[in-house]
Chains A and B, each alone.
Chain A
Amino acid sequence: MNAVEVSGLVKRFGDKTVVDHVSMTIREGEIVGFLGPNGSGKTTTIRLMCGLLTPDEGEGQVLGFDLITDALKIKREVGYMTQKFSFYEDLTIAENLEFVARLYQLKPVGEHVDRTLEELGLSSRRRQLAGTLSGGWKQRLALAACIMHRPKLLLLDEPTAGVDPKARRDFWDEIHRLAAGGLTVLVSTHYMDEAERCHRISYIAYGRMLATGTVDEVVRDAGLTTFVVRGPDVHRLAQEISSLLGVEQAAPFGTTLHVVGSDAAKLETSLSEFTKERHGISFERGETSLEDVFIQFMGGARDNMQ
């Protein structure tokens, strides 16, 4: 059974179409990464799925409930972690958890809260105000509060923004542990390493779903060729190289330059001619990264930001 099955979702704010016929299928227990530039409609799509917004067009089911008519039932079974910390900063950690437990009618409240605090490792700080927690701890508290009612679907909106690498790693271990237990996860992110930890990824830009599949599939289907250019002060040549025929991206990576294009033959010809004239500069075939693919997508997508 699929946890999420939506098709043709459209959401407009005024005359701006923020989500434009987005369809998505997520299998039970799957971790799907949701990627795309800022303002591409990730947050809006997630809000559509948890009933916080009503779609203008489209239909679908979330956890077997109709997206339009059963929004309230969906809310009970979904855990949604907002992009911005949205618990009460003037309540203590324990008070926040108690509040959430009572709203979901979890009984007994005390037991659920104690267990959650224990799992978080926050038992000793239960009386601390949530507003005084650091970014990483706020994120852990928010996650704990979202999964306390044992949801079947977890929607995470850029959960690791502004969190240090160690905390990020712990967070993802936790997500995988939860998914192994049958929880379905849709997580939006800007980090490529996080995308690679997902079972599948979906790429959305300017409200349109541009690609979906495993990381390898998405990279392969993009049909890009990448060359790595080496040599002294090669990063200063980026401007020049990017104007060559067949070059679509030229980005410095440390002492090297990644040159990407969709027409492999044309790209190779251009680079051969370019390096021939310059001493000490060489190039070799490189591996196209997910990031290269995304930059390509962004360049190709129509600018819908206005």
Chain B
Amino acid sequence: MSDRFSFGRLGALLMKEFIQMRRDRITFAMMLGVPLIQLLLFGYAINSDPKQLPAALVVVSQDHYTRAMVSALETTGYYRFDHVTASASEAESLIASGAVVFVVTIPSDFARRVDRGDNPQILIEADATDPSVASGAISTLGTVANEALLRERGMQTAAAQDAASRLDVIVHRRYNPEGVSQYNIVPGLLGVILQMTMVMMTSIALTREIERGTMENLLAMPASPFEIMIGKVLPYLVVGSVQVVVVLSAAKLLFDVPFVGGISLLLAAVLIFVLSLVLLGYFISTVARTQMQALQLTFFFFLPSIMLSGFMFPFRGMPQWAQWIGEFFPLTHFLRIVRAVMLKGANLSEVTTEIVILCLFIIAYGGIALARFRRTLD
């Protein structure tokens, strides 16, 4: 056998590697299961031309022209009118909180103006914080609405086919009128960056102690599981706070991202988000047996949370089941808060639901982690 290469020696190395691979169950599962899960998940969930977007309809009269307009908009497939209201302020808070992407307002004199032959108007307000969401819906709008109106009038009075009384569709791109994608991406990046560093750092917190053998000593000394958890989590909360300041300053100085809402509300929300992340990391730490496994679990969590949270693709554009999965990531809720507060100037009452959900994550992760933490080596 040659000194440089021997199939026997190579065989020994390969055998050893495969045995180790097989022994490490989590890694093995990751290599086989994760690609498949992610392919299915993202393949079906991601849609860059989102349809069936939630919309609110502000309408006062219930005449046949209005009904014709609404059904025409719905048949485009882009709009799904979840909310019908007569109050403009209710619609305003729906779009501010992110519950709807569009507000369609049909004025009370719409039917009268059509009948009189004046130019009727409808107003479409689109939430343009994510410019890609609204673009398809807006581009098809003018033609569809006009055709519908002509059709409807044709049925009523075959004579009135003059081009002068065309429908005016007024589009307001709210919150981000120029469609600058950074305005959407940079606040989102704050959440993604925090998630990446916070979860990863804390996920190895306990496994590192176990791997280095210091856990046995720590457990033999009088420290309670709660003390150990807080002791692990708090330092990273501080690190996270520093990151927040850095990212927000850069957002303002380098990218000129508008900062409409209250800074204290934003910081409070960020703090809650970071706490939920470090506790999530700590929870992973109680599941994983080695630092390597902890990192793998972190990444397993990381990719879907980026894809399904509304960071990379419009959340409302995903199928319902994918939106449900998305609801289970803290990032999803944080993105709604940070976009609402920074770009729309939302106040506390408009983001309360999301903040409450983040708090529930904190309680759940912390509770499970404490329950899973073993005070003994059993």
Residues of A within 8 A of B (CB): 47, 50-54, 71-72, 75-76, 78, 80, 82, 84-89, 100, 103-104
A53 in complex: contacting residue of B213, B221, B378, CB < 8 Å: B378
Q: How distant is the Cα of A79 from the Cα of B176 in the complex, in angstroms?
A: 64
Query: In this complex, what residue of A is CB-closest to B224?
Result: A72
Q: Using Cβ atoms and an 8 Å threshold, which residues of chain B touch A50?
A: 220
Contacts of A86 in B (CB 8 A): 212-217
Known: A51-B220, A89-B212, A103-B221; 7 extra A-B contacts, CB below 8 A, are A52-B376, A53-B377, A71-B376, A75-B221, A80-B220, A88-B212, A100-B221
Docked complex: B45-85 residues within 8 A CB-CB of A: none
CB neighbors of A among B198-226 (8 A)? 212-217, 219-223
Interface centre among B214, B217, B378 (most CB of A within 10 A): B217
Complex formed: what's the CA distance from A292 to B375 in Å?
A: 40
B223-244: which residues lie under 8 A (CB-CB) from chain A?
223
Residues in chain B near residue A84, CB distance under 8 A: 213, 216
Q: Can you sample 23 A-B contacts with CB below 8 Å?
A: A52-B219, A52-B376, A53-B376, A53-B377, A53-B378, A54-B376, A54-B378, A71-B376, A75-B220, A75-B222, A76-B222, A80-B217, A82-B216, A84-B216, A86-B212, A86-B213, A86-B214, A86-B215, A86-B217, A88-B214, A100-B221, A103-B223, A104-B221
Partner-A contacts on B (CB < 8 A): 212-217, 219-223, 375-378
Pick the residue among B212, B220, B222 that contacts A52 (CB under 8 A): B220
Instruction: Write the nearest CB–CB distance from A290 to chain B, whole angstroms.
Output: 30
3 residue pairs, one from A and one from B, having the closest CB atoms: A86-B217, A80-B220, A84-B213
Contacts A47-B377, A53-B377, A53-B378 hold; do A82 and B213 have CB atoms under 8 A apart? yes
**Chain A residue contacts of B378, Cβ below 8 A:** 53-54
Which residues of B sit under 8 angstroms from A53, Cβ to Cβ?
Answer: 376-378
In the bound complex, do residue B217 and residue A87 qualify as a contact, i.e. CB atoms below 8 Å apart?
A: yes
Tell me whether A52 and B214 are in contact in the complex, defined as CB-CB below 8 angstroms, given that A80-B220, A100-B221, A104-B221 are known contacts: no
Docked complex Cα distance between A100 and B217 (Å): 10
B222 touches A103 (CB 8 A): yes
Within the complex, the shortest CB–CB distance from A113 to chain B, in Å, comes to 16
Chain B min CB distance to A208 (Å):
21
Cross-chain contact A104 with B217 (CB below 8 angstroms):
no
In the bound assembly, the distance between CA atoms of A100 and B223 in angstroms comes to: 10
For the complex, what is the distance from the CA of A86 to the CA of B376, rounded to whole Å? 16
* Cα separation A89 to B212 with both chains bound (whole Å): 9
Residue of A nearest to B227 (CB): A103
Complexed CA–CA distance, A21 and B15 (Å): 41
C-alpha spacing A50/B219, complex, angstroms: 10
Cα–Cα distance between A85 and B220 once the two chains are bound (Å): 14
Tell me the minimal C-beta distance from A57 to chain B in angstroms.
Answer: 14
- Bound CA–CA A88/B217 (angstroms): 10
Q: How far is the CB of B359 from chain A (nearest CB, A)?
A: 31
Which residues on the A side are within 8 Å of B375 (C-beta)? Answer: 71
